[in-house]
Structure 1
């Protein structure tokens, strides 16, 4: 099952920053049944006719949801997202085993892998599919399919968490993976053919890691059904599952969309507490006192729980005080590896254009769903300017913005663009005195340059011009 975030099981974390490769030559997409106007509207249309409130109250992290639609329009749209017939052209674009494609089959409860190594040869892939009844697992298809890119990018805005995807193509009478559970929330979209699913009671609720389970341990399924084109399935992390293509169906194609890997309260606390301890120790002498002599030499430190509890209570009191929280590693990981926005009109749509911002101009932040505001210390004294966005691939570059407000020294507005190898950063730096003005732009739907909270008109115009030159604001 695909993963996104700190540990990407299928492709590695580097794939999250990959920009879209050469686009498939494809027929016009069927009319969308999804509403891309906002992240909220996209998710609502994805799970329709189930309402968002009902979904999060009754199903999210609790139990599976099966939406069987029997709707030709939805089925046609799902079919346009990805088809087996597209694999031949994709192989000509230089797909590689492991990085892009896995070929596998479940044999006697174990996963057997048929990867050859190196580049994928379509004829060999088809041979394994037809003769060995192997499943083709295609990683991160949004790199090649505009509509999938749009779906994932909007879902990342909706959840505030990285989103991954895989396509699974399985021939009839075969099963790709043994019974297992994942550490991600899973949405299944059935694209072609039919798939027979069996779900089982979790042995580990809301699991934090992937694991294969034996048939003997999992017992009888709690849910068993056939997914048909246009159907949607959701199940929480930890849900044991297996799926096969029934006889009579030539093959099945489904899309797996996954999210919320390493995104629990435990992960948040592991990330936040070290900084909290560091900050609190500056003001609280109790945390700066030495640990007892020979404590590190003791096998059993059971005599110290009362002291540890007391210190933890002091940290809890610190959390309850109003304070500026620092940017966490989770937040940095999210903004660095999320998908940039899917832009129409090619790379020129990201170039500065239109009127220059003047003192009376109305401006607004672009790509609001891709902006984060964080404050953290900086050791640099200089104010510096870094290069503007690079645009890797026509229409597929775009900034994910991390507004880093450096305590005491400078403010960095950092836009991100993406390449096939690694993310590259660029941005601007401003004095911390610009914080209030940047927050105005951040929080307002529109704002007039002269209304910005800065001492002089010159500073206001310079701030607006700097942001405009990086394509981070537009002039209305």
Structure 2
């Protein structure tokens, strides 16, 4: 007799069918998020197509950080309209668990003031609130404007475009897609604290621009509230049709409105150079540079001039010091570790649709050849930050004792000079006290963004992905970095001990940074 089959569990067939149907539906929805081919990457990046019809030379010499510019390009209307629309928003809403404020906001202009939609905070309510049908009902019935944050996390073409722009401008690029329903009121004007591109997607948009030559702000400051009825007449009104793009430099004030109140409008707002000013760069890097120069330059250990008793004298004295510092810049005292660059690598998008790793680990032996999978997403440096080691090297109680004895605070340069070796010691050792006595203690750091999480781009703080190697590995790393892009190097030629060479290569491979090639 044959064995009896076990009866299927009640409802199992129906559950399987439902699961299969849901999977098929999700697959169809995700197709809406695939790359539509706009601004196709060329060998040198997408910038030429992105800035069309303006040339790259004209953009950087006449427009960038100088003045606003309208890019009229009706030929891009079809592709631009699919970068973000209601169909894509529906696909994202139904395949992802969205969260208010992190992923989207609903905004309205009430009596000239910005008012966000009030949301109940229970978990069940939040989930129901974020449903596509509910959000679009609020947009269409109550005339709220929908801002969707960082759509490049889900839309493939935006991932490709923004990753390329980040590489080109070497700064983080954020994005916001705005859907404004027909008959809705324009939001109040805003201060543009970044360099911005507004790419019109659907419908038509009217942009009022106030040039802000009379607004003088520090790099990190902004202005959040404007009331248009209390402002002067806009300096210019620009009309955007689908495919058109508007560049607005930092410092301008602008507002967007429907061109035709009976038609909806949507656009993509790209922002860059936030927290990326010269002042901020100097603020985080100059202390390390000054610390290094102080070990080399005797004049920094001289007493401060007795003649700087007026602001005019201080001005001339400061100019003199800065000129001498400029003459002191060399390869030895330029900081290798740049906190702003570390932040960029920690938060930038990963390369577009690249595999996590290449080849198989068993491919590695001393006879194989290797090359880096990327150089653009790798940052190599030695730890030479002055401020990060300050707490370890300095006992504040010593300074308190000296203050009591001297009756005055020590200047920063005096503090540095107090810990300097004598001139003869510098000549004998030919190195600073910042370097460890035992070279094996020194390390070299490799930061990379190859495996950054696309879904977290611009919505969360992230630690950079970092590999640490003995300083002796620096020559091997630089040999890989300096090779031609398609050049493979024999692993045994990296001049590392045989017992360490394979382990070194595998550690890079595991991060997706190394491509092996077996030699016959």
Q: Is 1:257–2:270 an aligned residue pair?
A: yes
Q: Is 1:327–2:337 an aligned residue pair?
A: yes
Q: Is 1:411–2:449 an aligned residue pair?
A: no
Q: 1:449 maps to which residue?
A: 490
SS at match of 2:31: coil
SS at match of 1:111: strand
Cα deviation, residue 229, structure 1: 1.5
- In structure 1, runs of 5+ residues without a counterpart are 1-21, 381-405
Q: Return closer, same or farther for 1:310/1:358 CA change in 2, 3 Å cut-off.
A: same
Instruction: Answer 1 or 2: which has greater strand percent.
Output: 1
Cα deviation, residue 156, structure 1: 0.8
Which deviates more, 327-336 or 276-285? 276-285
Cα distance in 1 between the residues matched to 2:205 and 2:299: 60
Question: 459, 468, 491: which one pairs with 1:429?
Answer: 468
TM-score by length of 2: 0.71
* Residue-by-residue CA offset, 1:171-209 (whole Å, 9 max, x unaligned): 123344312222111111111111111222224379733
Alignment of 1:263-278 (within 5 A): 263-278=276-291
Q: 2:55 maps to which residue?
A: 51
Cα distance in 2 between the residues matched to 1:111 and 1:136: 13
Cα distance in 1 between the residues matched to 2:249 and 2:198: 12
Cα distance in 1 between the residues matched to 2:345 and 2:35: 31
- Give the count of matched residue pairs: 420
* Residue-by-residue CA offset, 1:356-406 (whole Å, 9 max, x unaligned): 2444544221132211222224999xxxxxxxxxxxxxxxxxxxxxxxxx9
Q: Return closer, same or farther for 1:65/1:455 CA change in 2, 3 Å cut-off.
A: same
Q: Is 1:65–2:98 an aligned residue pair?
A: no
Cα deviation, residue 148, structure 1: 1.3
Cα deviation, residue 117, structure 1: 4.9
Question: 77, 83, 86: which one pairs with 2:85?
Answer: 83
For the 8 Å contact 1:97–1:115, the answer to whether it is kept is no
For the 8 Å contact 1:201–1:218, the answer to whether it is kept is no
For the 8 Å contact 1:352–1:469, the answer to whether it is kept is no
Q: 1:193 maps to which residue?
A: 203
Q: Return closer, same or farther for 1:216/1:322 CA change in 2, 3 Å cut-off.
A: farther
SS at match of 2:168: helix
Cα deviation, residue 309, structure 1: 4.8
Question: 467, 472, 476: which one pairs with 2:513?
Answer: 472
Alignment of 1:17-28 (within 5 A): 25-27=30-32
Cα distance in 2 between the residues matched to 1:413 and 1:321: 20
Cα deviation, residue 355, structure 1: 6.7
Alignment of 1:226-237 (within 5 A): 226-237=239-250
Cα deviation, residue 89, structure 1: 4.6
Cα deviation, residue 107, structure 1: 3.2
- In structure 2, runs of 5+ residues without a counterpart are 1-25, 390-434
Cα distance in 2 between the residues matched to 1:451 and 1:316: 42
Which deviates more, 206-215 or 257-266? 206-215
Q: 1:109 maps to which residue?
A: 112
TM-score by length of 1: 0.77
For the 8 Å contact 1:165–1:256, the answer to whether it is kept is yes
Cα distance in 2 between the residues matched to 1:217 and 1:440: 61
Q: Is 1:339–2:349 an aligned residue pair?
A: yes
For the 8 Å contact 2:80–2:243, the answer to whether it is kept is yes
Cα deviation, residue 259, structure 1: 0.6
Cα distance in 1 between the residues matched to 2:77 and 2:47: 18
Cα distance in 2 between the residues matched to 1:232 and 1:277: 43
For the 8 Å contact 1:65–1:235, the answer to whether it is kept is yes
Q: 1:376 maps to which residue?
A: 383
Alignment of 1:1-400 (within 5 A): 25-27=30-32, 29=34, 31-38=36-43, 40-71=44-75, 74-92=76-94, 93-118=96-121, 119=126, 120-122=129-131, 123-203=133-213, 204=215, 208=219, 209-211=221-223, 212-215=225-228, 218-247=231-260, 249-284=262-297, 286-288=299-301, 308-319=318-329, 323-343=333-353, 349-350=356-357, 352-353=359-360, 356-377=363-384
For the 8 Å contact 1:324–1:375, the answer to whether it is kept is no
Cα distance in 1 between the residues matched to 2:463 and 2:279: 30
Instruction: Answer 1 or 2: which has greater helix percent.
Output: 2
